[in-house]
A and B are shown apart, each in its own frame.
Chain A
Amino acid sequence: DAGVIQSPRHEVTEMGQEVTLRCKPISGHDYLFWYRQTMMRGLELLIYFNNNVPIDDSGMPEDRFSAKMPNASFSTLKIQPSEPRDSAVYFCASSVGKGNYGYTFGSGTRLTVV
């Protein structure tokens, strides 16, 4: 298995532009998570899905952020409009089943908003 695949690896955009981050989870994993990592705040959970259904989006910073999972093999995180404070590394992770299973993370998307 190729693991969790995220694209793009790096994104530089101007303030006010729309940004879309993409994630392909591991086949057979029924949980998908979006995290954001910064030096100041560490890894923060943004939203997670179970069987393509959003379960908890309380970590989404504000209405500028939205996430979708149209099928079991694809998810997007969209920021519109983007702001400099959104600059961070965004990680997607997937896991199998409930319980205490570990997460498999993608390599992340480094977003810079100028």
Chain B
Amino acid sequence: TQLLEQSPQFLSIQEGENLTVYCNSSSVFSSLQWYRQEPGEGPVLLVTVVTGGEVKKLKRLTFQFGDARKDSSLHITAAQPGDTGLYLCAGARQAGTALIFGKGTTLSVSS
């Protein structure tokens, strides 16, 4: 059983469309992080959310942490081909413990 469930698993869209990917759990996390991974490379940190209900924006990307700190979402506005990649959410059950990763959402944006 995966502790962090991500959906959808795959997403293929056209340039300019909006999308949302989800990261859900039945467990509470002290923080959640989002990473983006390109083929042949390691994941790269996008954002960390710590407070329940927190919303962070990174250009066209909006991240939200659920009020109960059990879920998170990533919304991309006007997707571009450069957004293509594997988006991973990761959570720490307690501060200082190792991150647990979801399996990720593979996003493909075509022009």
Binding site for B on A (CB under 8 A): 4, 33, 35, 41-45, 48, 56, 91, 93, 98-108
Contacts and interface: CB of A to CB of B under 8 A. Distances in A.
Contact of A99 (B88, B95, B98, B102): B95
A103 B40 CA distance: 17
Contacts of B50: 100
B30 interface: yes
B82 interface: no
Contact of B95 (A42, A98, A104, A105): A98
A45 B98 contact: yes
A98 B30 CA distance: 12
Nearest to A59: B98
A75 to B, nearest CB: 15
Interface stretch (B15-23, B41-49, B56-64, B72-80): B41-49
A41 B95 CA distance: 24
B73 to A, nearest CB: 18
Contacts of B30: 100
24 contacts: A33-B98, A33-B99, A35-B101, A42-B2, A42-B102, A44-B101, A45-B99, A45-B100, A56-B97, A56-B98, A91-B42, A98-B96, A100-B30, A100-B33, A100-B50, A100-B92, A102-B33, A103-B43, A103-B45, A105-B44, A106-B42, A107-B40, A107-B42, A108-B42
Interface string B85-107: 00010101001111111111000
B48 A102 contact: yes
A42 B98 contact: no
B43 to A, nearest CB: 5
A101 B33 CA distance: 9
